[in-house]
């Protein structure tokens, strides 16, 4: 399919979904293809596997199909392949235990020309960590799971990639500190989310203060790089916890790169003071405009360590667990009372010194209740409030019961002034599809909207999630057809995406795209790391 | 193609695993909860990975030309699960999905197709059929440890409504020489009339868990008939696996409704305490002792019995009960179950060591449990420490017997 760009409209690059992915035209791709042929050579794989096992141990490297299969799907599957192409069977999986082993593994991959896809928790979405190129090596970083240290003076933690949000937060609180909040449950990690996928903590403060301080990265050649103050030799005797040091800030190079520029093996992450008081505010709005205005004003006044706006459908999936949603009468009752379709909700977590929390609470109440006509939310059951608090603070399990089907979701960063129109447009496309709730089929499928402030609240992360039954072909195909129109609508309205995807490369300005390619070539002359995701 | 694919609910779940990873980490302590994940590293040994393998076994990867043909490797991944249910508890509570049902379904299907179980588990079947116990020990020695104690007891009577089902592990494990005598002592001291079953059979639980239930159905029928023939109204189990077998598995597999009540030693002793029928003084007269309690998977997660053992320990003077970080429904498995100790002894031992480390880390001097299999396995792991840890491992019946006033 030809690619074309018209004013305000972009057509995605169609990826050949045969047994091998095709990349963009050019000699670079020919090099990839010939190296793919080499990589697919089983004898090559056998030799590589022998060397890998010498590094990580017999039981931590494998080319058995049984060990490769678990890396081929995520919650977005099968629709995720619309973004990055069909999953391609890798050839080898390796589980290194530390940075030194990662270095050796990367060097072996270079030696045998085997492309690498790094993965940690496997909670990725949209195929971000699923190889779309044949003959690849999965580097599973789950064994790099140490919290190396928490420094109270600098309020930082040095962690490896497989440290979960929940675990670091729990550990930090023993030191009077806390981790940043991020939407969702306690699994998933900082490196994958805040570096590879370029996410941000969900409050205006998070938008200003990037939680990443320094990185230790294994470059695609196997060389080790440290950023920030740790770039100096003997950094341990100097200050090891400063981001801005020694010139250009290379942390930015790796953010949003999906691992294509290097594998992060350590990260120094900012922690924040754990407050003596923690409050959870819940507001209900009759209009999206009032919600957006409240987000705007609270964020300009720096209120809240965690701020999330959602619609009634999203709240429904958070506070109603599987058993509740399986009860049609209860569902109808809740939807006609507490969770009416037109409602929007804002949740703000406050934490800090008691007086500060009290002041912030009064400010939030004034903005939301008085100036923007909100009401305080009263959920009918204590467990619903608990689920909701867990969801907003990522310390609990709540997000788990949201996943009852496969998930179709997309997020983008949208200027505040366009969100209402965007949501209306997207809803007008989805509602006529007549999709049914996968748990309570007498009800329509919830169209879940999430709005999170980024960049001082001027840009909002806005996302839609729809559950679907992966076994229902009609359901799948219907949603599959929505990918292109959804992306086109987003881009035509000025949205941006925190990470880049190869199909969207054509809309970048040439100097930007060329710079990305140039950096890639410089860092990764053999095109080993994640060659199938970014340009 | 596997018949598992005909189970719509299971296929539904297999397709909908969202890879959220909640099955791998406890939400309270943020410690790992899946033993095979921690030991084996590769994703195929984790619950989501096993679900993907199940997906392949029912043909869902055929469209990309992937078929699993090396059954030895498939077996290794499915049989290296202790079936502890930690992942199941996490997943089922909020989503209604049950990974354990899938793993058991795959085991059964592989056995039906005669590619499973591992050889060591087939030996267990032969041992049960020919010797009446998975250990392969002489059946006539089953009650040897308590014969001297009970032969002259006036409490042992054929008319007693309570049957004490001793189980195979307490009968034959070298780690549990006093387990049965301690339980009998408790019965005697509380004037509880009881009987034991001559030619007591194996409950078959380990064979059910290794997927061999179709091969053991006739044996189970005969076992149930033996029990029913006694006319007892209540069966007392010190082994939670035996308890679960008679309470849940026999009705499921044989389609019968039991006409007897199944009761665990923990529930029994706890009731005696509540009724004032037993008084417990200091444990062994040794003064204050710090004890922690290991929740056996079959008793805790899978039967919902958490409070009664704690009630018992809390009633003993001089015992200070402290909890390990992973307790109750989040308890770390001892590593014995699901046939793992037989098929993967090193993995089993390492898992037990992890539990011992956890008990030691909180300063406990006694690690109590309410399962002879857990006790035996933990003791095996402790032996390899060569006395490095000053930790005593005891069953609830041992602690109570030592504390009877």
Distance CA B108, CA B249 (A): 14
Q: Minimum mean pLDDT among A27-31, A104-108, A497-501, B392-396: which range?
A: A27-31
Pairing of strands A277-285, A375-376: antiparallel
Query: Which residues of A are less than 8 Å from B67 in CB distance?
Result: 65
Cβ of B91 within 8 Å of Cβ of A59? The answer is no
Task: Give the chain B residue whose CA is nearest to the CA of A68.
Answer: B44
Interchain pair A67, B43: CB under 8 A: yes
Taking the CA of residue B183 and the nearest CA in chain A, the distance in Å comes to 41
- A/B interface, count of CB pairs below 8 Å: 134
| Between B236 and A258, residue with greater pLDDT | B236
Q: For A478-528, what is each residue's pLDDT tens digit? A: 888 888 888 888 888 888 877 666 667 777 888 988 898 899 999 999 999
Please tell me which residue of chain A has the smallest CA distance to B24: A187
Query: What is the C-alpha to C-alpha distance for residues A509 and A352, in angstroms, rounded to an integer?
Result: 44
pLDDT tens for residues B127-158?
Answer: 999 999 999 999 999 998 888 777 766 667 77
User: Mutation test of the interface with chain A: which of B22, B31, B58, B74, choosing the one with the most A Cβ atoms within 10 A?
Assistant: B22
CB atoms within 10 A of CB A514: 12
Contact predicate A267/A216, CB 8 Å: yes
Hey, is the C-beta of B27 within 8 angstroms of any chain A C-beta?
yes
Cα torsion A111, A116, A121, A125 to 10°: value is 180
Highest mean pLDDT among A230-234, B9-13, B52-56: B52-56
**A368-377, A405-414, B141-150: the lowest-pLDDT one:** A405-414
For position A26, what pLDDT does the model report?
A: 37
B8 touching A, CB under 8 A? no
Query: What's the average model confidence in pLDDT over B12-26?
Result: 85
Tell me the shortest Cα–Cα distance from A98 to chain B, in angstroms. Answer: 13
Find the closest chain A residue to B37 by CA distance.
Answer: A142
The answer to whether A139 and A263 are in contact (CB under 8 A) is yes
B119-271: CATH class: alpha beta
Q: How confident is the model at residue A208 (pLDDT cuts 50, 70, 90)?
A: very low
Beta bridge partners of A451: A309, A462
Residue corresponding to tokens 């077996």: B75
How close B168 gets to chain A, by Cα (Å)? 34
**What separation in angstroms does the CA of A289 have from each of A204, A343, A374?**
19, 11, 11
* pLDDT score of A23 more than 50: no
CB A60 within 8 A of CB B40: no
Closest to A281 in 3D by CA, of A262, A258, A298: A298
Phi, psi of A352, deg, nearest 5? 160, -160
CATH of domain B278-403: 3.40.50.1860
**Domain ranges (residues) in chain B:** 3-112, 119-271, 278-403
Query: Residue A5: its pLDDT value, please?
Result: 25
The count of C-alpha atoms lying within 13 angstroms of the C-alpha of A69, restricted to the half-sphere facing its C-beta, is: 30
Highest mean pLDDT among B18-27, B57-66, B186-195: B186-195
Nearest by CB: A397 against B27, B46, B55: B27
Structure-block tokens of residue A16: 């050949």
DSSP state of A117: E
- B385-400 pLDDT per residue, tens: 776 778 999 999 999 9
| Whole-number percent of chain A with pLDDT over 90 | 40
d(CA B195, CA B235): 10
Cα–Cα distance between A424 and B14 in angstroms, integer?
Answer: 35
| 81-140 in chain B: CB under 8 A from chain A | 90-91, 93-96
Place of tokens 């209009």: A287
| C-beta of residue B108 within 8 angstroms of C-beta of residue B209 | no
Which pLDDT score is estimated for B154? 67
Nearest CA-CA distance, residue B259 and chain A, Å: 31
A6 pLDDT above the threshold of 50: no
Do the chains contact at B42 and A399, CB–CB below 8 Å? no
User: In whole numbers, what is the pLDDT of chain B averaged over residues?
Assistant: 92
Instruction: Test A400 with B22 for CB contact under 8 angstroms.
Output: yes
Q: Which domains does chain A have, with CATH numbers?
A: 5-142 (3.30.43.10), 147-273 (3.30.465.10), 277-492 (3.40.462.40)
Domains B119-271 and B278-403 share a fold: yes
Residue in B with minimal Cα distance to A94? B42
Mutation for testing the A interface, residue in B27, B37, B53 having most A CBs under 10 Å: B27
Please give the Cα distance from A9 to A5 (Å, whole number).
6
Asked if the model's pLDDT at residue A105 lies above 70, the reply is yes
State both tokens at A506. 């054509």
């Amino acid at each position: 399919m030809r690619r074309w760009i018209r004013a305000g409209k972009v057509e995605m690059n169609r990826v050949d979904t045969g047994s091998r992915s095709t990349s963009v035209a050019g000699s670079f791709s020919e090099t990839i293809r010939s190296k793919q042929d080499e990589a697919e050579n089983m004898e090559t794989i056998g030799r590589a596997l022998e060397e890998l096992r010498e590094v990580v141990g017999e039981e931590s490297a494998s080319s058995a199909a049984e060990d490769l299969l678990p890396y081929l799907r995520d919650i977005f599957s099968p629709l995720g392949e619309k973004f990055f192409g069909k999953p391609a069977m890798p050839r080898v999986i390796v589980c290194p235990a530390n940075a030194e082993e990662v270095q050796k593994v990367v060097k072996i991959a270079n030696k045998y020309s085997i492309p690498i896809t790094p993965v940690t928790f496997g909670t990725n979405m949209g195929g971000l960590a699923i190889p779309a190129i044949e003959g690849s090596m999965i580097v599973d970083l789950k064994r790099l799971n140490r919290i190396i240290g928490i420094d109270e003076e600098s309020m930082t933690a040095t962690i490896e990639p497989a440290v979960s949000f929940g675990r670091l937060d729990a550990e930090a609180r023993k030191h009077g500190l806390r981790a940043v909040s991020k939407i969702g449950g306690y699994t998933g990690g900082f490196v994958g989310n805040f570096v590879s996928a370029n996410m941000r903590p969900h409050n205006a403060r998070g938008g200003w203060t990037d939680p990443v301080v320094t990185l230790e990265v294994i470059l695609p050649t196997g060389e080790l790089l440290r950023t920030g103050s740790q770039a100096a030799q003997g950094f341990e005797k100097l200050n090891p916890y400063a981001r801005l040091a020694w010139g250009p800030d290379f942390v930015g190079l790796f953010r949003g790169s999906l691992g294509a520029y290097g594998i992060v093996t350590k990260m120094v992450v900012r922690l924040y003071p754990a407050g003596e008081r923690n409050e959870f505010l819940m507001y209900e709005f009759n209009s999206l405009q009032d919600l957006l205005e409240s987000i705007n004003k609270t964020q300009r006044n720096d209120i809240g360590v965690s701020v999330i706006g959602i619609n009634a459908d999203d709240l429904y999936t958070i506070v109603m667990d599987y058993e509740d949603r399986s009860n049609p009468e209860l569902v109808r009752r809740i939807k006609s009372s507490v969770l009416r379709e037109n409602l929007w909700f804002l949740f703000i977590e406050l934490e800090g010194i008691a007086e500060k929390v009290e002041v912030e609470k009064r400010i939030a109440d004034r903005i939301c209740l008085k100036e923007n006509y909100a009401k305080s939310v009263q959920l009918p059951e204590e467990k619903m409030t608990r689920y909701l608090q867990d969801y907003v603070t990522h310390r609990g399990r709540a997000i788990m019961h949201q996943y009852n089907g496969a998930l179709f979701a997309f997020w983008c960063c949208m200027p505040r002034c366009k969100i209402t129109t965007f949501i209306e447009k997207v809803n007008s496309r989805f509602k006529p599809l007549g999709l049914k709730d996968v748990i309570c089929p007498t009800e329509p499928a919830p169209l879940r909207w999430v709005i999170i402030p980024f960049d001082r609240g001027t840009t909002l992360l806005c996302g839609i999630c729809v559950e679907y039954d992966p076994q229902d072909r009609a359901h799948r195909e219907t949603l599959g057809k929505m990918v292109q129109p959804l992306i086109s609508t987003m881009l035509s309205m000025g949205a941006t995406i925190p990470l880049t995807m190869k199909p969207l490369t054509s809309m970048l300005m040439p100097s930007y795209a060329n710079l990305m390619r140039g950096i890639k070539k410089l860092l990764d002359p053999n095109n080993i790391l994640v060659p199938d995701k970014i340009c | 193609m596997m018949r598992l694919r005909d189970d719509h609910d299971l296929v539904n779940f297999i397709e909908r695993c969202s890879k959220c990873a909640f099955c791998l980490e406890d939400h309270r302590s943020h410690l790992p909860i899946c033993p095979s994940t921690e030991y084996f590293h590769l994703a195929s040994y984790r619950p989501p990975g096993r679900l993907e393998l199940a997906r392949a076994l029912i043909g869902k990867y055929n469209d990309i030309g992937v078929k699993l043909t090396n059954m030895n490797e498939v077996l290794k991944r499915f049989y290296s699960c202790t079936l502890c249910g930690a992942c199941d508890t996490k997943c089922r509570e909020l989503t209604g999905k049950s990974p354990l049902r899938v793993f058991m379904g795959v085991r059964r299907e592989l056995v039906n197709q005669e590619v499973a179980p591992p050889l060591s588990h087939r030996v267990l079947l032969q041992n049960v059929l020919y010797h009446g116990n998975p250990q392969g020990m002489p059946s006539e020695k089953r009650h040897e440890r308590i014969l001297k104690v009970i032969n002259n007891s006036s409490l042992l009577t054929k008319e007693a409504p309570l049957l004490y089902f001793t189980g195979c592990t307490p009968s034959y494990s070298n780690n549990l020489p006093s387990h049965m005598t301690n339980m009998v002592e408790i019965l005697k001291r509380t004037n509880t009339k009881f009987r034991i079953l001559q030619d007591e059979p194996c409950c078959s639980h380990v064979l059910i868990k290794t997927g061999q239930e179709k091969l053991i159905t006739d044996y189970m029928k005969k076992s149930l008939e033996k029990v029913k023939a006694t006319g007892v109204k209540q069966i007392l189990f010190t082994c939670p696996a035996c308890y679960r077998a008679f309470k849940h598995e026999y009705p499921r597999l044989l389609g019968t409704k039991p006409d007897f009540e199944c009761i665990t030693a923990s529930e029994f002793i706890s009731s005696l305490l509540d009724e004032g029928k037993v008084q417990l003084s200091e444990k062994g007269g040794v003064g204050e002792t710090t004890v922690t309690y290991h929740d056996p998977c079959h008793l805790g997660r899978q039967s919902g019995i958490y409070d009664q053992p704690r009630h018992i320990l809390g009633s003993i003077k001089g015992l200070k009960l402290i909890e390990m970080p992973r307790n109750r429904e989040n308890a770390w498995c001892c590593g014995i179950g699901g046939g793992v100790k037989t098929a993967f002894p090193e993995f089993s031992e390492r898992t037990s060591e992890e539990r011992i480390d956890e008990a030691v880390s909180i300063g406990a001097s006694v690690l109590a449990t309410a399962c002879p299999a857990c006790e035996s396995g933990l003791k095996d792991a402790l032996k390899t420490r060569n006395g490095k840890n000053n930790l005593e491992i005891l069953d609830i019946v041992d602690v109570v017997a030592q504390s009877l006033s």
